Homo-oligomer: A and B are copies of this chain.
Amino acid sequence: VAPVRLSDITARLGGELHGDPALAIDRIGPLEGASAGTLSFLSNPRYRAALQSTGAGCVIVAPDMLDAALARAEGAAAIVADDPYLYFARVTQWWAERTRAPRPSGVHPSAVVEAGATVHTSASIGPFVQVCAGAEVGADVQIGSGCHIGRDAKVGAGSRLAPQVTLGDDCHLGANCIVHSGVVIGADGFGFAPNQGRWEKIEQLGGVRIGSEVEIGANTCIDRGALEHTVIEDGVKLDNLIQIGHNVHIGAHTAIAGCTAVAGSARIGAHCTIAGSVNIVGHIHIAEGTHVAAATLVSRTITTPGRYAGAFPFDDNATWEKNAATLRQLYRLRERLRALEKKTPP
């Protein structure tokens, strides 16, 4: 990777530069293990000790950390930003843009674009991609090898699909989305009517509507709606291996970590954060601005925003076994306590 000068960075991204503008940066890295060519950052004051010992040539810091950042070594450089973490995010974006070879625009000769599909001339379609009739692929879209774009599906301008993504029939993806490998959008929701001990399929007639600036992690599934659409609003971020059931509605800018399952017709408000391995049951609502901790089963509607949790505290196996055994008769413990209370004079 060709190095850049510090002044190139601040020219592009702003921030207040202290130190040698010509310092060559060849890597973005953490404070630990950094060398003279490393640009690092300090966003959490708890890691201040790491600042003192880092070998990084330059560190992005908040204004109140500038003195410490400059004092750490002779000739140490710093970039001051109001929000060092956000500044760092933008540095990574620029770095990626500089260093990643772009895919050539155009359709790979092995790809199958069916009659009636529309592919913008600036889009890049990789090998072994099928774009079905009625599909629309927008400007500057990148579609990796082996993807399937269903009938009447839409991919908004600037979106990137990694290899092996399935976008089902009548599923729409907004602009500037990122979809990672193995994602399946538009598989059938899980709907069956019982019929004398068998299950009769309810065909899933809805689609999926995904806003802009949405990111979807590897092998995540978003089912199509039963009658209406499953909806993911703008700016939602989904991690890997997440299950989104049919008719779910996720509000804008909500982020959900890996292995979480959202059952059918649940409605999650905007600006929520849902941690990993959470299970949200069907048909409930979660208020805007709610935060759910890892491994929680959300079994009823949450109307008051705030923090919620519900995991069993782990322990060494022997302690856990004793506590779990007691837990299995907890309500009897309460009854015994009540009996004692009645006998004991106040």
Q: Give residues 177-194 of A contacting B (CB, 8 Å).
A: 178, 180-182, 184, 187-188, 190, 192-194
Are A257 and B253 in contact, with the CB atoms below 8 A?
no
Q: How far is the CA of A180 from the CA of B222 in the complex (A)?
A: 12
Contact A187 B218 (CB under 8 A): yes
Report the Cα distance A217→B338, complex, angstroms.
Answer: 49
| Interchain CB contact (< 8 A) of A199 among B95, B235, B345 | B235
CB-CB under 8 A from A243, the residues of chain B are: 239-241, 258-259, 276
Given contacts A145-B130, A199-B253, contact A307 B297 (CB under 8 A): no
How many angstroms between the C-alpha atoms of A316 and B298 in the bound complex? 11
- Whole-angstrom CA separation of A181 from B165 in the bound complex: 9
Interface pair A145/B148, CB less than 8 Å apart:
yes
Q: Do A86 and B200 touch across chains, with their CB atoms under 8 A apart?
A: yes
Complex Cα distance, B334 from A202, in Å, reads 50
Note all chain B residues with C-beta closer than 8 A to A192. 89, 237, 255
Whether A74 is near chain B, meaning CB under 8 Å from some CB there, is no
Contact with B along A224-235 (1 / 0, CB 8 A): 001110000001
A162 surroundings in chain B (CB, below 8 A): 166, 168, 187
Query: Is A215 in contact with chain B by the CB < 8 A criterion?
Result: yes
Q: Is A3 an interface residue (CB 8 A)?
A: no
A201 adjacent to B241 (CB under 8 Å) = no
The answer to whether B219 and A255 have CB atoms under 8 Å apart is no
Number of copies: 3
Task: Name the residue of chain B whose CB is nearest to the CB of A241.
Answer: B243
Residues of chain A whose beta carbon lies under 8 Å from any beta carbon of chain B = 28-30, 33, 83, 85-86, 88-90, 92-93, 95-96, 99-101, 108, 110, 112, 126-128, 130, 133, 144-146, 148, 151, 162-164, 166, 168-169, 178, 180-182, 184, 187-188, 190, 192-195, 197-205, 213, 215, 217-219, 221, 223, 226-228, 235, 237, 239-241, 243, 245, 253, 255, 257-259, 261, 263, 271, 276-277, 279, 281, 292-299, 304, 306-331, 333-334, 336-337, 340-341, 343-345
Question: What 9 A-B pairs come out closest when comparing CB atoms?
Answer: A310-B314, A307-B317, A187-B218, A96-B203, A89-B193, A148-B163, A92-B203, A184-B218, A180-B187
In the complex, besides A112-B145, A148-B181, A190-B237, 12 extra interface pairs with C-beta distance below 8 angstroms are A89-B195, A92-B226, A190-B217, A190-B258, A243-B258, A259-B261, A293-B320, A308-B317, A310-B314, A312-B324, A333-B334, A340-B340
